[in-house]
């Protein structure tokens, strides 16, 4: 059994915040693999089911418990620790989806262990679980100024962000079987491929003249009819003189 945790803050006021991208990822996984409905347990919203191997879907061979702590971000470890102890899970059986300031928007990295890097949700998990769990770091970008970080993570995604956010959540949900199977590198590669912007189309090139020949001169526009008639009249007048 694996515990798949999404980090965020509960309630509609926080639902669209960058800090809640972990909740969004878990919701996308539940929808994609037919898990749920969510119910209240372990100070969290939980849903369970099975996820198959790569390419699999509902009815797969790995039991998972999806969990969204309702304790607010700073106390996330309370809910995760309670669920892990109840199911006798080790940190190696826990996968946490969370927002990552140090990754560009839409980028994904998976790592095991490490520090909290100022993330209060991870700091709480470390206190209740240790740090040997897997982290799926979902890039939200840095505002560029440390003083603006708090407002950045606790503000909603802009409409323009949907261009990368929706494909990212879809790709995470589609390829989570690789993560469940322990194929972290393959998971990152597949998500990167699925979210890569399309290459711009090459503009059509005009045919170059054969080597040694100059390009033909562009055709000259015909003189307006009035000017042609005037020129002919002048020529006739000159001939008569």
- Residue 220 belongs to some domain of the structure: no
- Residue 232 belongs to some domain of the structure: no
- Cβ partners under 8 Å of residue 92, min gap 6: 112, 132, 133, 134
Q: Taking every pair of C-alpha atoms in the chain, what is the biggest distance, in angstroms?
A: 118
- Residue 151 belongs to some domain of the structure: yes
Measure the CA–CA gap between 179 and 29, rounded to whole angstroms.
12
pLDDT tens series, the chain, 241 aa: 999 999 999 999 999 999 999 999 999 999 999 998 999 999 999 999 999 765 444 445 889 999 999 999 999 999 999 999 999 999 999 999 999 998 999 999 999 988 888 898 999 999 999 999 999 999 999 888 888 988 898 899 999 999 999 999 999 999 999 999 999 999 999 999 999 877 777 665 555 556 666 666 666 655 555 444 444 544 454 455 4
Range of the domain at 118: 2-195
Measure the CA–CA gap between 241 and 237, rounded to whole angstroms.
7
- Residue 210 belongs to some domain of the structure: no
The answer to whether residues 38 and 45 touch, using CB atoms and an 8 Å cutoff, is yes
Q: To which H or E segment does residue 150 belong?
A: helix 149-153
The closest alpha carbon to 176, from 194, 159, 162, belongs to 194
Give the residue numbers annotated as catalytic, written as ranges. 19
- Report the side by side order of strands in the sheet with 108-112: 39-41, 44-51, 62-69, 2-6, 94-100, 134-139, 108-112
What are the angstrom distances between the C-alpha of 43 and each of 67, 111, 140, 160? 10, 26, 27, 34
| Burial readout 47-82 (b: 16 or more C-beta within 10 A, e: otherwise) | bbbbbbebebeeebeeebbbbbbbbbbebbbbbbbb
- Residue 185 belongs to some domain of the structure: yes
- Residue 226 belongs to some domain of the structure: no
Record the pTM: 0.79
- Residue 144 belongs to some domain of the structure: yes
Cα 23 to chain center, whole Å?
Answer: 13
What pairing do the DSSP bridges indicate for beta strands 94-100 and 108-112?
unpaired
- What's the total number of domains in the chain? 1
CATH code, 129: 3.40.50.1470
- Residue 169 belongs to some domain of the structure: yes
């Amino acid at each position: 059994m694996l515990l798949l945790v999404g980090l965020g803050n509960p309630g509609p006021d926080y639902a669209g915040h960058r800090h809640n991208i972990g909740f969004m990822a878990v919701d996308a996984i539940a929808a994609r693999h037919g898990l749920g409905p969510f119910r209240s347990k372990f100070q969290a919203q939980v849903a369970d089911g099975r996820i198959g191997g790569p390419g699999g879907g509902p009815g797969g061979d790995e039991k998972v418990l999806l969990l969204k702590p309702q304790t607010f971000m700073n106390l996330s470890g309370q809910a995760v620790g309670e669920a892990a102890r109840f199911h006798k899970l080790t940190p190696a059986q826990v996968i946490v989806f969370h927002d990552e300031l140090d990754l560009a928007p839409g980028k994904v990295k998976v790592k095991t262990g490490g520090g909290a890097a100022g993330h209060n949700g991870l700091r709480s998990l470390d206190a209740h679980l240790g740090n040997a769990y897997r982290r799926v770091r979902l890039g939200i970008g840095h505002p560029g100024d440390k003083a603006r970080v708090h407002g950045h993570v606790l503000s909603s995604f802009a409409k323009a962000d949907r261009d990368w956010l929706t494909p990212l959540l879809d790709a995470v949900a589609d390829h989570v079987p690789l993560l469940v199977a322990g194929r972290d590198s393959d998971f990152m590669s597949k998500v990167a491929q699925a979210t890569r912007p399309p290459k711009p189309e090459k503009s059509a090139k005009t045919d170059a003249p054969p080597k040694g020949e100059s390009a033909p001169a562009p055709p000259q526009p015909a003189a307006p009819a009035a000017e042609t008639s005037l020129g002919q009249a002048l020529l006739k007048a000159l001939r008569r003189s």
